[in-house]
Amino acid sequence: MLRKIRIGLAVLFFILLTLLFLDFTGALHHWFGWMAKIQFVPAVLAINVAVVIGLIVITLLFGRVYCSVICPLGIFQDIFSGMASRIKKNRFHYHKNRPILRGVILLIFIILLIFLPPIARLIEPYSAFGRMAANLFAPLYAWCNNLLAQIAERAQSYAFYSVDVWLKSLSSLIIAAVTFVVIAALAVWKGRIWCNTVCPVGTIMGFLSKYAYFKPVINTDKCNHCGLCGRNCKAECINSQEQAIDYSRCVACMNCLSNCHQKAISYKHIPKVTAADDQPDQSKRKFLAITALFTAGSVLKAQAQKVDGGLAVIEDKKVPERKLSPCPPGARSYNNFYHRCTSCQLCVAECPNHVLRPSNKLTSLMQPEMSYERGYCRPECTRCSEVCPTGAIERITPVEKSSIQIGHAVWIKENCLAYNGGNCGNCARHCPVGAIQILPASEGSVQQTVAVNTERCIGCGACENLCPVRPLSAIYVEGHEQQRIL
């Protein structure tokens, strides 16, 4: 019974959390956005005391249910481990805890988190999962949606609409793919070995769960030393010979309770216990995701060729060389953003204007970065600030958003149509705060001037995005380290 409840909750959490990364409409966040916000590391970074205390209390009461039910990476491993167990039964063997190794990794993680966040982020469980969802699953989901949208279009329905699928960052895609392969392989090999060796959250939770009030306990009177519990414990923490359970590694999955033929294990208050695993399919996904992404480029090219005829070819925009990419509005400052963002990429998956994408730079690897080739940061949109679980992007209203200066526009007159005698002014026409004016040419000259009021400019990138000059716009946005409310 307890196992079934655990599985039910885990499936629910896993599906909804994954959907948060897939749902481009933003509708799900309204209801389930909290699921990202109760993740441990994001809550710590957001200094969300209530959540952190809540998670600690839950762990002190029930053990590491967090790792079994709330953590998406944990459930992800259970899926692979469960599949492997169907093929090879009784495949686990108890081994000793490695507290020193775990402690050292945790320490390194904390040091890295402070001094070199990009590396720390690689092993932070929620973000690692987020990257897989955003980079591997989201494109698949979007393609399915686009298929439905095409069907809907034929049926004259507006229920589905197409979305762009594009390669946002190659480095992130590679990292996500590697994470996927490594974690899945570890789970197939030795169940929860990642959680019980590398994962810093697992180590913290493990420390707490030793003192949990309720635990799986082996009734030594009923136990016949068959060892079934130990061989089916994905955490490899049940020493059936000694009828002992290592609670620092037990993730309270309750598998051992139902595996024991003697009904010798129960979940209750008092020491001594065990664990194992379960769940449905996912194996083709990896293959599909990767092949699909490799074909993405060619599909987009084919589409571009379809729209010829009477239409002029439009060259793609290139990313300008910015000294600093602006941080999303609400990030407050580059420092705050840099240190609190775990690069889970929820905001990247969420951004409806295709502004955010994972960074390829070493210092901010995989953290979201803004650029305006495909769209601009629309004044009424606050989606990234709504979804961010870590407080790297703080919650803002559209009123605040349209007043926050995240950067300012820089005019490159050599490229500008208006400066070179053309009739343009598209930047001025679309600046949402009226910070751009086209000054008429002085007598005897054709050179109009694009005057940017940098005091009023909020750095939204409307000018850069809608500038007709390609591949490099004649006006682009430089980011600010410190965001200001104007």
Residues within the interface to other proteins (CB under 8 A): 149, 153, 158, 161-162, 164, 307, 310-314, 374-375, 378-380, 397-403, 417, 422-426, 429-435, 437, 456, 458, 466, 468, 486
In sequence order, what DSSP letters do the residues of 416-453 get, joined into one string? -TTTTT----HHHHH-TT--EEEEPPPTT----EEEE-
CA separation (Å) from 90 to 86, 194, 237, 352? 9, 19, 14, 47
349 or 431, CB closer to other proteins?
431
The neighbour count for residue 396, using CB atoms within 10 Å, is: 21
Q: Is 64 exposed, middle or buried (0-12, 13-18, 19+ CB in 10 A)?
A: buried
Shortest separation between residue 68's beta carbon and other proteins, angstroms:
40
142 or 253, CB closer to other proteins?
142
Shortest separation between residue 379's beta carbon and other proteins, angstroms:
5
Shortest separation between residue 425's beta carbon and other proteins, angstroms:
7
Shortest separation between residue 378's beta carbon and other proteins, angstroms:
7
Report the DSSP pairing between strands 404-411 and 475-485. antiparallel
280 or 310, CB closer to other proteins?
310
289 or 406, CB closer to other proteins?
406
Determine the angle formed by the axes of helices 49-62 and 200-209, rounding to 10 degrees. 50
Shortest separation between residue 269's beta carbon and other proteins, angstroms:
53
Shortest separation between residue 373's beta carbon and other proteins, angstroms:
10
Shortest separation between residue 454's beta carbon and other proteins, angstroms:
13
79 or 458, CB closer to other proteins?
458
118 or 379, CB closer to other proteins?
379
SS3 99: helix
253 or 428, CB closer to other proteins?
428
Contacts of 344 (CB under 8 A, 6+ apart): 36, 42, 126, 127, 129, 130, 131, 134, 389, 390
37 or 430, CB closer to other proteins?
430
Shortest separation between residue 467's beta carbon and other proteins, angstroms:
9
Shortest separation between residue 430's beta carbon and other proteins, angstroms:
7
Contact assessment for residue 233 and residue 275, using Cβ atoms and an 8 Å cutoff: yes
The neighbour count for residue 285, using CB atoms within 10 Å, is: 16
Token pair 């890295």 is at which residue? 112
Helix, strand, coil % (nearest 5) of the chain? 45, 10, 45
Contact assessment for residue 200 and residue 106, using Cβ atoms and an 8 Å cutoff: yes
Size of the chain in residues: 486
110 or 439, CB closer to other proteins?
439
9 or 417, CB closer to other proteins?
417
Compute, in degrees rounded to 10, the torsion defined by CA atoms 140, 141, 144, 146: -100
Contact assessment for residue 368 and residue 355, using Cβ atoms and an 8 Å cutoff: no
Shortest separation between residue 324's beta carbon and other proteins, angstroms:
23
Distance of alpha carbon 136 from alpha carbon 167, whole angstroms: 11
Shortest separation between residue 463's beta carbon and other proteins, angstroms:
12
Distance of alpha carbon 18 from alpha carbon 367, whole angstroms: 19
The sign of the CA dihedral 368, 370, 373, 375 is positive
52 or 433, CB closer to other proteins?
433
